[in-house]
Amino acid sequence: MSDPQNTDHDLSKVLVVDDLYANRVALRRVLKHLEVDVIEAGNGNDALAACLEHEFALILLDVQMPDMDGMEVAALLNGEESTRDTAVIFVTADSSDDMDRLKGYRLGAVDYITKPIDERLLQAKVGNFVELYDSRRALRRARDELNAVNNQLRGEIDIRRRAEARAQHLATHDALTGLPNRLLFVDRLGSMTKRARRRSGRFAIGYMDLDGFKPVNDAYGHRAGDVVLEHVARRLEQTLQDVDTAARFGGDEFAMLIEDIESEQSCLARCQEVLDALAAPIPVPTSTGEIDVAISASLGIAFYPEHGDDVDELMHNADSALYRVKYEGKASVRLFQRRDDVRPMPAERVDRLAR
């Protein structure tokens, strides 16, 4: 069958099926006054073959033909989904009785014409069915064009949504490790603080630095350092609970939010599990092959509400506890104490930065 997506300049096609050449010539002469493309078939098989190659607005089908008559052709056309809706006008040499007409209508006939043919009546009927077909074809074309536009719009919207989601993710997550960044961490901390205040809840905030990270970069390059940071991020995710949050602030600085705090000791034990997981050797590729790098981490912890009841105070006190850990020996976890709020002297701050 031809492509149904015809252009506006394509003529609708009418199939004339009659075993007598003279009858086909007569019908062709009548139809030449209409803007249609007439295709002829001399028997039922040729008619079926034509329907495989073309889409017809109308079929003028002779009822009485040898080998395969018009009723058989109509039955076969009606059995195929592609031709079931094609209009068929039976052309008969004698007046059919009501039973014959009923059979024809059941097989998809839309009308009957009796020979000899009234030219004006035939032109009128063919013109009406072709006009109806053209209207349906235009509607189908408009629908297909609209569907194409809708599909394009849906595709563009989907691309835009993915781009927006990606941009949002990049704005709130660390590009290297995929962990939440400082912006998202502070947002979650604010939400957790409000929720805990309403429910008289308790949680912990932790600030963490890696010990001995700078020598890794210096000795093996920044790619090796990136591998270490990626391993640290995955180990944090694996060690913390699903409700907890691990974030990267930049460099080798990380932060944590720990929920479901049962006691001070249980929280510190969980934090020690995190440090133990990070202390396991990390395989790092170098120019001479893979090596195992061992690092440690220092962690400062502050509790809500004991060590602060707002975001700024909690972050400040967790950071103060971390400074004290770095100053007093590293590789351990420290719970904030009031004396930690006295910041180290500048020389001690340099010691922390030296890792």
- Mean of per-residue pLDDT scores for the chain: 88
Cβ contact 267:301 at 8 Å: yes
- Token pair 């139809």 is found at 31
Query: So what's the pLDDT on residue 95?
Result: 61
Cβ contact 216:224 at 8 Å: yes
Summarize the confidence of residues 261-267 as an average pLDDT.
89
Q: Which of 233, 217, 212, 222 is nearest to 294 (CA)?
A: 212
pLDDT bucket at 347, cuts 50 / 70 / 90? very low
Burial class (CB in 10 A: 0-12, 13-18, 19+), 324: buried
pLDDT bucket at 302, cuts 50 / 70 / 90? very high
Query: So what's the pLDDT on residue 96?
Result: 60
Lowest-pLDDT range, 104-118, 145-159, 288-302? 104-118
Summarize the confidence of residues 312-340 as an average pLDDT.
91
For the domain with range 12-143, which CATH number is right: 2.40.128.520, 3.30.750.24, 3.40.50.300, 3.40.50.2300? 3.40.50.2300
Lowest-pLDDT range, 68-72, 93-97, 261-265, 267-271? 93-97
pLDDT bucket at 92, cuts 50 / 70 / 90? confident
Tell me: pLDDT of 283 over 90: yes
pLDDT tens for residues 24-53?
998 999 898 898 999 999 999 999 999 999
Tell me: pLDDT of 340 over 90: no
pLDDT tens for residues 154-177?
999 999 999 999 999 999 999 999
Query: pTM here?
Result: 0.60
Lowest-pLDDT range, 250-254, 279-283, 325-329? 325-329
* HSE value, Cβ hemisphere, 13 Å, CA-based, for 218: 6
pLDDT bucket at 322, cuts 50 / 70 / 90? very high
- Angle, helices 119-172 vs 182-199, to 10°: value is 80
Query: So what's the pLDDT on residue 47?
Result: 93
pLDDT bucket at 350, cuts 50 / 70 / 90? very low
Amino acid at 200: S
Tell me: pLDDT of 2 over 60: no
Task: Please count the residues of the chain.
Answer: 355
Strands 203-211 and 253-258: antiparallel
Cis check: omega of the bond before 305, within 30 degrees of 0: yes
- Please state the domain extents for the chain: 12-143, 182-353
Which CATH fold would you assign to the domain 182-353? Answer: Alpha-Beta Plaits (3.30.70)
Tell me: pLDDT of 3 over 50: no
pLDDT tens for residues 182-238?
999 999 999 999 999 999 899 999 999 999 899 998 888 889 999 999 999 999 999
pLDDT tens for residues 96-142?
666 677 777 887 788 888 888 888 888 898 989 898 888 888 898 99
